[in-house]
Amino acid sequence: MLSVHKIGGTSMSKFGDVLNNIIIRQAAGDNPYNRIFVVSAYSNVTNWLLEHKKSGEPGVYDLFEKSLDYGAALDRVLERLIAINQGLEEIGLDQAQADEFISRRIQQSRNYLLSLDEVLASGYVSRQNILLAAREILASIGEAHSAWNSVNIIQNKGYKSTFVDLCGFNDTEYLTIDERIQKAFTDLDCSGTIPVVTGYTKGTEGIMREFDRGYSEVTFSKIAVEVKADEAVIHKEYHLSSADPAIVGIEWSRPVGNTNFNVADQLADIGMEAIHPKASKPVELAGINIRIKNTFEPDHPGTLISRDYQGEESKVEIISGTDRVIAIEVHDPFMVGQVGYDLNLMKVIQRHGLSYILKATNANSITMVFWEKDVTPALLMELKGLYHEVLHKELALVCALGTNIARPGSLAKASTALHENGINVNAVSQSLRQVNMQFVIGRDDYKKAIVALNRALCADD
């Protein structure tokens, strides 16, 4: 069997565990070959290079965009990357060689940024395209760093390993992402080497233009399809669980075991990504299953995501959600029976580049739920100028998901659990496929709702 593995950033920062639990697995007697590893940057490295994903703290890119001192910031990143190298020396990294590699890559990046900065200052080119190029260059540094280090450590452990650098720093070939991946793997025999691949791939279309920070999963997905993998495996620092153990307690949470791509898409829509939905589609269409495994429990089979899986028993499999949403309601007494009212509203939403998570309607009102970070004052101002009454409120969303939740009474049981815990439902949604019951609730009730739904719907399994 040939398998493709994606190692996340948090796991990469504990590479000794990755090495022993996944890549080598000497105790289990596993064959280390016929496996391709696609690696993310070490934890926080991409935040330093771009901007902090959650807090928004500026990184090198943010300073470049604002014409501030990005050079000094790049120097600080290099110091941090060398510090990471120092911490890996005890598990087999040749630090002198590693420091030389990353110093050279940082210097190349600095030269590219200086050239882009000069072109940008000329005013003759598109600012957006120049900034995107800078973002791509900076993002690629983290994956090149972690992939090169991984190969060096594996080789120093006595195994054959190949550094597959898809960053394209040392070539001028005008290749698409697919073409670059195809070229890299055309003559690579995985039966006698362990390929470690950069999660970033350079391509003419720009991998960050559409996927931004989800690019490593796109690379992982495209490689799995290109090599016709028997299975694609994502290693995370946790199981895909029935509920967040940090909220419900470890004793009330369990690995899901099996689910399908539809449920995985529902999870991604509320921010709990098993895999980026756009990255999963090529794998799904190719008939390749995805397995989600816990890096630190290597003997556990994890959760298998397949195209046609449906639980034999009708039950809720996952309770999840987010407390970072805003509900916007448009109310108009003249809406009832008016053809195209919804269409015109959606054109406004599209113009502001938003995608809603939930939508509920009645005769005179349309309620939509969006990620809080995406709702701008400009959107609210435009809506209030166009419609009779517009309300917006910071709320939370909790969901009960499963591949087969069509059992009569599931919705009633969920609603009762929320009611008995004093949780008011502001809006609710469920489609005909019945894979996701969504409840819009107050933010202060979020954790209480997760616990209540988990105990009511999952505790009897």
Element (H, E) at 137: helix 127-156
pLDDT score for 194: 96
pLDDT score for 172: 85
Fold observed for domain 318-457: VC0802-like (3.30.2130)
Q: Calculate mean pLDDT across residues 385-404.
A: 96
Identity of the amino acid at 351:
R
Domain extent listing, the chain: 3-237, 318-457
Q: How confident is the model at residue 27 (pLDDT cuts 50, 70, 90)?
A: very low
pLDDT score for 461: 47
- E runs forming strands in 282-353: 290-294, 303-306, 318-331
pLDDT tens track for 182-237: 999 999 999 999 999 999 999 999 998 878 888 999 999 999 999 999 999 999 99
438 pLDDT higher than 60: yes
How many whole angstroms separate alpha carbon 139 and alpha carbon 167?
10
Fold match flag (3-237 vs 318-457): no
pLDDT score for 252: 92
pLDDT score for 432: 87
pLDDT score for 1: 87
Mean of all residue pLDDT scores within the chain: 93
pLDDT tens track for 70-101: 999 999 999 999 999 999 999 999 999 999 99
The alpha carbon dihedral of 46, 51, 55, 58 has a sign of positive
How many whole angstroms separate alpha carbon 221 and alpha carbon 223?
5
**Two structure tokens written together for 309:** 């899986």
pLDDT score for 459: 67
The number of beta carbons lying within 10 Å of the beta carbon of residue 7 is 27
How many whole angstroms separate alpha carbon 436 and alpha carbon 372?
21
Residues 6+ apart with CB under 8 A from 97: 152
How many whole angstroms separate alpha carbon 105 and alpha carbon 258?
42
User: How far out from the chain centre does Cα 19 lie?
Assistant: 23
327, 443 Cβ separation under 8 angstroms: no
pLDDT tens track for 121-140: 887 778 888 999 999 999 99
pLDDT score for 121: 86
pLDDT tens track for 332-350: 999 998 898 999 999 999 9
Q: Calculate mean pLDDT across residues 260-269.
A: 93
Q: Residue 248, class by beta-carbon neighbours within 10 Å (0-12 exposed, 13-18 middle, 19+ buried)?
A: buried
28 pLDDT higher than 70: no
Place of tokens 């969920």: 414
pLDDT score for 98: 98
Residues 6+ apart with CB under 8 A from 130: 116, 119, 120
pLDDT score for 62: 94
Q: Calculate mean pLDDT across residues 420-436.
A: 93
pLDDT tens track for 52-63: 877 778 899 999
**Two structure tokens written together for 390:** 């517009």
35 pLDDT higher than 90: yes
pTM listed for this prediction: 0.90
Flag the least confident range among 17-26, 171-180, 236-245.
17-26
How many whole angstroms separate alpha carbon 49 and alpha carbon 120?
20
Q: How confident is the model at residue 272 (pLDDT cuts 50, 70, 90)?
A: confident
Q: How confident is the model at residue 29 (pLDDT cuts 50, 70, 90)?
A: low
Length of the chain: 461
Tally of CA atoms within 13 A in the half-sphere of 165 that contains its CB: 17
How many whole angstroms separate alpha carbon 415 and alpha carbon 439?
9
319, 457 Cβ separation under 8 angstroms: yes
32 pLDDT higher than 70: yes
pLDDT score for 421: 97
Flag the least confident range among 114-118, 136-140, 409-413.
409-413
Element (H, E) at 366: strand 365-371
Q: Which CATH number fits domain 3-237: 3.40.50.720, 3.40.1160.10, 3.40.50.1980, 3.40.50.970?
A: 3.40.1160.10
Identify the three-state secondary structure at position 214. helix
Name the percent of the chain lying above pLDDT 70.
Answer: 98
274 pLDDT higher than 80: no
